[in-house]
Amino acid sequence: MRRSAITPYLIVGPIALVLAYPFYWMLWTALKTDTDLYNVDNNPYGFGSGSPTGRNFRFLFEETEYGRWLQNTVVVGIVVVIITLVLALPAGYALARLSGGWGQTMGIGIFLTYLVPPTLLFLPMSRVISELGLQDRLLSLMVVYPSFTVPFSIWLMMGFFKTIPRELEEAALIDGASRLKALVRVVFPISLPGILTVVIFSFSLVVNEFVYAVTFISTSTNRTVSAGVPTELIRGDVFYWGALMAAALIPSIPLALLYNTFLDRFIAGFTGGAFR
């Protein structure tokens, strides 16, 4: 079965369209006025009374703290990624080099932390957070989020480091470098694709998180996007659909662009591609 030139389009096309359709719809809704939107007689695919309008986007940035939420999310993301790298890189390396059952058991053990749902953990976590005096501050998220980015990152880096042949470090050691130096000077630079993978996955996990973000932070200006939008743009009886859709669209597009741009290096990060 020779792969013809159009097979990819035939197969990927429809699936991609289905996957992306909700975003098209979000965009369309975000550009509509309320009178257009809530009229059963209007054609939703077209624009009616007053649409398209930038009012929903303006509303987001002028009458809610949305801009602040975006900022908070990015800040938390960056800090958590850094913490994750600091914790996971060395651990992943050590586990990759540890031979025998030890490494495997720890690998499984680390993975098991994902099986505990945050819906359960958030109450004891609140206690920890308040003991540390961090409630209602972004710092609380920065401290807690690595708890679910680190295990995954360790697993990622473990797999990645395994593809780097030991000869490299051994060569460095023979040349007189200490283990630490060998690690930092030789191994880490080569692991850039792996690091990139960790960065992207951790960031996406942070942006997605919902339960802790809602529980730990109650002041509007300190919220992240994931928590602020459902709690403040939905006022019980009233859903501000236009603004909600705009709010959902704004972080998604840049993130998807980011992921797409780095996807190839990202994939290399999974496989230690430099060594194929």
Within residues 96-155, the interface with another protein by CB under 8 A covers 97-98, 104, 106-108, 110-136, 143-144, 146-147, 150-151, 154
Give the Cα separation of 26 and 20 in Å (integer). 10
DSSP notation for 198-256: HHHHHHHHHHH--HHHHHH--SGGG--HHHHHHHHSEETTEE-HHHHHHHHHHHHHHHH
Q: Which of 75, 184, 214, 274 binds another protein (CB under 8 A)?
A: 214
Q: Which stretch binds another protein (CB under 8 A): 53-61, 74-82, 164-172, 216-224?
A: 216-224
Number of residues binding to another protein, judged by CB under 8 A: 125
Residues 233-262 that bind another protein (CB under 8 A): 234-239, 241, 244-245, 247-248, 251-253, 255-260
Per residue, the 3-state secondary structure of 116-168, as one string, reads CCHHHHHHHHHHHHHHCCCCCCHHHHHHHCHHHHHHHHHHHHHHHHHCCCCHH
User: For another protein, which is the closer residue by CB, 55 or 269?
Assistant: 269
Residues 46-85 that bind another protein (CB under 8 A): none
* Shortest Å distance, C-beta 105 to another protein: 10
Does 196 contact another protein by CB under 8 A? no
Instruction: Extract the tokens encoding 270.
Output: 């999974």
* Shortest Å distance, C-beta 54 to another protein: 19
CA atoms within 13 A on the CB side of 221: 0
Q: Which of 74, 207, 265, 274 binds another protein (CB under 8 A)?
A: 207
Give the Cα separation of 138 and 160 in Å (integer). 31
Q: Which of 94, 184, 190, 274 binds another protein (CB under 8 A)?
A: 94
User: For another protein, which is the closer residue by CB, 127 or 189?
Assistant: 127
